[in-house]
Structures are given as C-alpha cells and as structure tokens.
Amino acid sequence: MKTLSQSPHDRRFLRDPYRFYRQARTAGPFFRWEELDVICTTSYAAANAILRDRRFGREVPAERRAPVPPHLAPFAAVEEHSMLELEPPRHTRLRNLVLRAFTTRRLGSMQPQIARLAHGLIDDMPGGPFDLLPAFSQRLPITLIARLIGIPETLAPELLRWSSAMVAVYQAGRNRQTEERAAEAAAAFSDFLRLHIADRRDRPADDLLTHLIAAEADGQQLSTDEIVSTCILILNAGHEAAVHAIGNAVATLLQHRTPPEALAPARIAATVEEMLRFDPPLHLFRRIAYAPVEIMGRTFAEGEEVALLLAAANRDPGPWERPDRFLWNRPEKPHLAFGAGLHFCLGAALARLELATAVPILFTRLPGLHLVKPPRWSDSWHFRGLERLIVAP
C-alpha cells in the first residue's frame, strides 16, 4: 500500500483537491495519507461497502477510548450523546425518536418558507458586486434551521459563531487553541439550549424542539442531554454542510455557465444530485473496524481506522462516465454526498429541498448573475466550502 503526502492546508489543494484524489486513485483502492496518518479510500465501491458494513462503525469501543483532557470536557459531553458518534442500540433508539419529529410532512411544509426567505434575501441584495455567502448561502439555511428547531432567528449570528468553533475540531491539524474554543462554544451552546428546553417544557410550540421533548418510543423519551446534543448536531450540520452545499452549488453553476433549463422544475431534482456529486461539502468520514474484515483485498485489523474520501468516491470513473465533468443532464445514480447505511444524513431531505427551491429562485430573479472574482476556498478542506464568492447581478 502506497503512502502519499499532501498538506490539507495547501492553497492549491484547497482550490482543487480532486487533482490529488486522481493521483491517489492510481495507488489502488486504499492508500495511506501521511499528513492525516490514516488509511484512506477513493473507491466508490470500497467506501459504499464500508459505510454499509456493520463490522465498521463510528463509536470508539470503551476499552480503546483515550481519557478526555479536562479542557475538552464540555465538548466531549455533547459528543457523548450525539447520534453521529454512536452505534446501535443507542443510535437506533435516538434516531427513531428524532425521526418521529423530523418528518417528511414537516419538512415538506417548509418549502413555502424557503421560497419566501430566498425572495426576501434577494430583495436585500445590492446592485453592485457583493459576497453571496453572507448575503444568501449562510443566512438561508441557518435561518431555516433556527425556525425548524424553534430558536429565535435574532440569535443566528451567535449560533454561527458557536457552530464554527465546534466543527473546527474535526479539521486536520487542530491545536490546543482550537480545542479550547470548541469547548467554550459547546458549554455556551449547551447552557443556552437547556434554558430553551426548560421554557419549551412549560410553553410547547409547533417546532422541532417541542416534538423532541414529546417524542417517545417503547416508553422511552429523549433525555435533556440527548436533546441538547441532537439540536447541536442539527444546527452544526445546518450551518456547516448546508451553507457549503449552497455555496458550492452556486459556484459550480456559475463556473460552468449552466443553462436555465438545468433549473427547470422538471429537471431540478436531477441537477441537485449532480451538484452534490460533483462538489459536496463533506469530503471525509471515518470508520473503525470492530473485527478483522477484508475489503477489496485489504484486511483491516480490529480497531484500525479508515477514512472514506466521499468526494473522491463521487468521482470514481467506475460508476460515472467523465466523472470530473459537471453534466447537469447526467443520468441519476446514487452518490455518497450524504453517506450511506446506518448513518445516512438525517438532514439530506432538507438539504435537497433547500437547493431545489432556493437556487432556481436565485437564478430566476438574477438571470445575469456572474462571478466578479474567482471563488476563494476556505482552509477547511474536511468540510469543503467557500471563504468568498464575489458576484454581481
């Protein structure tokens, strides 16, 4: 197995990580990434198989867990009850309870809200060059998530600050300062949500938080700690993944001069899937082997970790012809932008709805929208997203 070197903070890599993925693919299904010190795969078949194989999981077995340093205790307390980090039976119980509140009917009723919000944001846009990220890509999903959960929209800037500090821990090369900021944000976030949960217990409303409080399965309800972790997970995903999904999608459409018919009602669902396949927000997801297991000729020992490069898998030439081309009329095939298997993204339906509703409105209202400067990518490769997207109507 080859070892390859690539700094995840290199500006050239941040602009185009797919160049490195193509190089890595020539090494075979698996390679070792020196800077990350982990075995990785760019293969769609391997990543898809591992995501669906119950011999791999996210939760670190108790006997293998390192002690939590005191400065990270508030962050670890949130992680302890996060669905993202759990396996059955706890994951099954939590996900089933949350799904009772996170229903398709509830999400479907949000489409008119998304449309109204998109129109309102466009109404406020300046006539000259501006950064689309704070004006549209950030405000739309964080406002919707706040409304969905039942948190005042006026707190959106604070939610963004907490969320950004917490998700920075998942990036390559984190340091003590990053960890301390994440812990402070986790503590403040948790304290705020506990107060809000207490208020909702006394004054129920038609929001996700009230439904999480009331959700029950087999005589069990979510604990306050579980509700806190679930809300933080949903808010962080709504900020980090959804913001980048919209920003990346708009950049892709502008760079490829996509014709209006790609965003027509009859075509938009398929175009959304191609945008997500072509440049998704999440590029890496880790799994731990719970037993010795062989995948595509490589045997993983119990406790060994593997990193699934989801964005690279989405450009595997096996499933896709001309995978490095953005083809809005490409026939639909399953991709891994939202993962697969037990941990398939809970917010996938909402993310798709946001893209399918808001992006066509943006380009219909601003048919002359164009790039003024090349997109600038942030130093946050794990969650690939833009730092700046300067456009003009």
Say which range, 39-53, 75-89, 228-242, has the weakest mean pLDDT. Answer: 228-242
Query: Tell me, what's the pLDDT at 50?
Result: 97
Residue 108: the pLDDT is: 75
CA distance 365 to 123: 9
CA 393/CA 2 separation, integer angstroms: 47
Per domain, the residue ranges of the chain are 3-392
Token pair, residue 389, equals 């997207």
Kindly tell me if the per-residue pLDDT of 211 is higher than 90.
no
Torsion (CA) 108, 112, 117, 123 in degrees, nearest 10: 150
Alpha-carbon span 48 to 41, nearest angstrom: 10
| pLDDT tens-place string over residues 326-335 | 999 999 899 9
Q: Taking a C-beta distance cutoff of 8 angstroms, is the pair 179, 171 a contact? A: no
> Is 29 within 8 Å of 297 (Cβ atoms)?
yes
Is pLDDT at 118 greater than 90 in this prediction?
A: yes
Looking at residues 282-307, what average pLDDT do you find? 95
The CA distance from 354 to 220, in Å, is 32
pLDDT at 149 over 90: no
Encode pLDDT of 90-99 as tens digits.
Answer: 898 888 877 7
318 has a pLDDT exceeding 90? yes
Measured over the CA atoms of residue 290, residue 303, residue 34 and residue 381, the dihedral's sign is: positive
- CATH class as words, domain 3-392: mainly alpha
Separation of CA 283 from chain center? 9
pLDDT number for residue 130: 97
Say if pTM beats, i.e. exceeds, 0.75. yes
pLDDT at 235: 84
